[in-house]
Structure 1
Amino acid sequence: MTKKESLPQGFLTRPATMDDLENTVNLINYFTNHYIGHNETSIPNLRRDWETPGFKLENDTCLVINPQGEFVGYQEVWTINNPPVHPYIWGCVHPHFESMGIGSYLLTWGEKRAHQELSRVSQDLRVAIWADTDDRIEPAKRLLEEHGLYPIRYALRMMIEMSAPPPKPDFPKDIFLRSYNPKRDAKAVYQADNDAFRDHFGFIEESFEDGFPKFIHYFTNDETYDPTLWFIATSGDEIAGICLCNKWSNDDRDAGYIASLGVRRPWRKKGLGMALLNHAFGEFYRRGKRKVSLDVDAENLTGALRLYKKVGMRVSRKFVRYEKELRPGKEISVQSLDETP
């Protein structure tokens, strides 16, 4: 199929600005409601994304506007990792304006934007675009495949619905749970999160100077942030595991959300992950939430999916990750446990 890379007559493009937050959120949520029946973002969430350190609206976003001034397409490109070996692209087209070449135009723009970052990556390293979509959005999947991207991985949204209080957590001996203090614990929690996720597909080592500001911005500059829902499991003076929760999920305000659950290597296979999960479930239940969700790689390298099923979680959504190689070379993101740093 021939890819159309021009826009209909009278349609314009420009980068987004902060003044465009509301209209862009409306476009994204109309798109997701049309295909999957619920909102996917909010003004506070998109503001947080647009204000992420290293993300530049003038370079990393593209809006398509029709002759009536309506927002009908949006694309964003993420190259904030250092080095940017996997530029991430995401976009949407208003369902009433499909089959007009807008999606192809935006995807082509996104790939060109990703190519501009090749100079930041050592010549011996592999560079490949990544893109995600909900598995139910067939037009998005077709568009990605028409542009040479192919599926490489799946992620799952897991959900538990509680009709009764969950089991009390059974923490391993010498493990103690304490509350999170933002002033005291932020750096240590970031390091624990980083260590726990070294064994996850796609992990790329970043310096503290690059990673910590983005971590704090992403997790705390959000309307769902509540430090009393961040739980720290300690062994002596060390953090053994973390469970960082949000007040609700972006796609379901009736559900609590576990944004990050991680156990460091020395404390794995001792029941700590299950104890942290049950503690989080219990706290959400106490606060009136009967549903809790989280996201997991369908081929998780550490066996997390088995744990989530064991505690009664089920799959509620499925996401497809697509890839397109821009330049061959050495792959530095984690692909298997044998490659973990």
Structure 2
Amino acid sequence: MAFDLASLTRRPITTTDAAALAELLNAIEVVDDFGEYYSESDAADQINAPLLDLDRGTVGAFDGDRMVGYSSAAHKPLAEGVHRVVVSGGVHPEYRRRGLGAQLLAAGIASAKVLHTIHHPGLRLAVDVQNNALNDSALACYQAAGMTPLRWYSHMRHPLGAAIVDVPAPEGFVLEGYSGDNDPEFYAVGNEAFLDRRGGVPMPLEQWRGLLGWQAFRADLSFLLRDADSGAAVGMLLTFFWDADTEATGVRDAHFMRIGTCRAYRKRGVAGALISHALRSAQDNGFDRASLEVDADSLTGANGLYERAGFTVVRTEVGYTLNV
């Protein structure tokens, strides 16, 4: 497709762009295979993320009313040592190989610098991106911008059915579903557990509220494990489901977005029991499979846990970083 880069309009993304963003993301998915499809409401959830600075952190490239590319920089409200700003973006397949991707990546890096100056000027800045490991053109774009590969992520799936390994809750622990009453405990357990991720910092409450406000959140498939004696919440699992994925693929996928165990209760079967119960619940609720993403070099050994539960790797994504 012939077009002039100079003819494209570039401006911050606004809350009225949800339909255009969903159309763009779905066109990208056909080629790049992230396993994600978007409805207009899903795109609106992304745009309306509580901590996303639309004016300073986003750029949309438009050909008339059609969004043909975008970049988005998300700063960290809390950071220690290094402020890691995550930049995401993409270009419509019909508009590739003209330099638009490089321009949008440069815009994302520039946005990251602006946000860093505002929020954490006293820390070092690292700009992180992530893409399908098979997307050679995107990886070449990152390398041309001076970015280097840092981390790999495994996208894993479970077929449910006979592959489910039944793991009962450890003796002295009880399972319970998500509710408004135990929401603070889900939040607290998740924050403690995720501190052990590389660069892990607590999730601000505002961001937590935004995440659980997505239409995709499945409270009925999200679970907490509690120590019956002390009453302490020790593990949690959050599940999400996107209708748009099913409409595009015909497959109902229960995505385990966050799984965590408090440090003092690890190696005691907490996560295994939560995963087993969630898999069985997904099966009973008519889902076709379950999925999750994990750091391929997880510091807590999560990869082995998921493999023992019956998950297998279906796609790898690679994270690149730029130390500024």
TM-score (normalised: structure 1)? 0.86
Residue 81 (str. 1) matches residue 77 (str. 2): yes
Residue 40 (str. 1) matches residue 42 (str. 2): no
Code of the residue aligned with 1:59 in structure 2: it is R
Asked if 1 retains the 8 angstrom alpha-carbon contact of 2:160 and 2:280, the reply is no
Residue 19 (str. 1) matches residue 13 (str. 2): no
| Residue matched to 1:276 | 274
Residue 240 (str. 1) matches residue 239 (str. 2): no
Residue 216 (str. 1) matches residue 209 (str. 2): yes
Mapped partners of 1:39, 1:181: distance in 2: 27
Map 1:90-101 → 2, pairs under 5 A: 90-101=88-99
Code of the residue aligned with 2:177 in structure 1: it is S
Distance 1:277 1:85, change over 3 A: same
| Residue matched to 1:162 | 160
Deviation at 1:90, TM superposition (A): 0.8
Deviation at 1:187, TM superposition (A): 1.7
Distance 1:30 1:62, change over 3 A: same
Residue 302 (str. 1) matches residue 300 (str. 2): yes
Mapped partners of 1:118, 1:258: distance in 2: 31
Deviation at 1:133, TM superposition (A): 0.7
Asked if 2 retains the 8 angstrom alpha-carbon contact of 1:31 and 1:95, the reply is yes
Mapped partners of 1:323, 1:9: distance in 2: 29
Deviation at 1:153, TM superposition (A): 0.1
Cα distance per residue 1:226-281 (max 9 Å; x no partner): 21212110013210111111235875652111111111111111112111111011
Asked if 1 retains the 8 angstrom alpha-carbon contact of 2:161 and 2:283, the reply is no
Distance 1:54 1:224, change over 3 A: closer
Cα distance per residue 1:3-42 (max 9 Å; x no partner): xxxx723222111122211111111110121232854333
Distance 1:309 1:37, change over 3 A: closer
Deviation at 1:87, TM superposition (A): 1.0
Asked if 1 retains the 8 angstrom alpha-carbon contact of 2:14 and 2:47, the reply is no
Mapped partners of 2:201, 2:36: distance in 1: 30
2:48 equivalent among 38, 51, 66: 51
Secondary structure at 1:86's aligned position in 2? strand
Code of the residue aligned with 1:121 in structure 2: it is H
Query: What count of residue pairs does the alignment treat as equivalent?
Result: 312
Secondary structure at 1:204's aligned position in 2? coil
Mapped partners of 1:41, 1:202: distance in 2: 29
Deviation at 1:109, TM superposition (A): 1.2
Asked if 1 retains the 8 angstrom alpha-carbon contact of 2:91 and 2:100, the reply is yes
Code of the residue aligned with 1:62 in structure 2: it is V
Code of the residue aligned with 1:237 in structure 2: it is G
Residue 62 (str. 1) matches residue 34 (str. 2): no
Mapped partners of 2:20, 2:171: distance in 1: 52
| Residue matched to 1:257 | 255
Secondary structure at 1:9's aligned position in 2? helix
Deviation at 1:139, TM superposition (A): 1.3
Code of the residue aligned with 2:320 in structure 1: it is Y
Mapped partners of 2:262, 2:58: distance in 1: 36
Residue 104 (str. 1) matches residue 102 (str. 2): yes
Secondary structure at 2:84's aligned position in 1? coil
Deviation at 1:82, TM superposition (A): 2.9
| Residue matched to 1:288 | 286
| Residue matched to 1:177 | 175
Q: Which sits farther off after the overlay, 152-161 or 83-92?
A: 83-92
Secondary structure at 1:200's aligned position in 2? coil
Mapped partners of 1:306, 1:27: distance in 2: 36
Secondary structure at 1:16's aligned position in 2? coil
Asked if 2 retains the 8 angstrom alpha-carbon contact of 1:165 and 1:285, the reply is no
Asked if 2 retains the 8 angstrom alpha-carbon contact of 1:61 and 1:76, the reply is yes
TM-score (normalised: structure 2)? 0.90
Uncovered stretches (5+) of structure 1, i.e. residues with no partner: 1-6, 327-341
Code of the residue aligned with 2:237 in structure 1: it is C
Mapped partners of 2:165, 2:102: distance in 1: 50
Distance 1:241 1:249, change over 3 A: farther
Uncovered stretches (5+) of structure 2, i.e. residues with no partner: none
Asked if 2 retains the 8 angstrom alpha-carbon contact of 1:50 and 1:56, the reply is no
What percentage of aligned pairs have identical amino acids?
23
Code of the residue aligned with 2:72 in structure 1: it is E
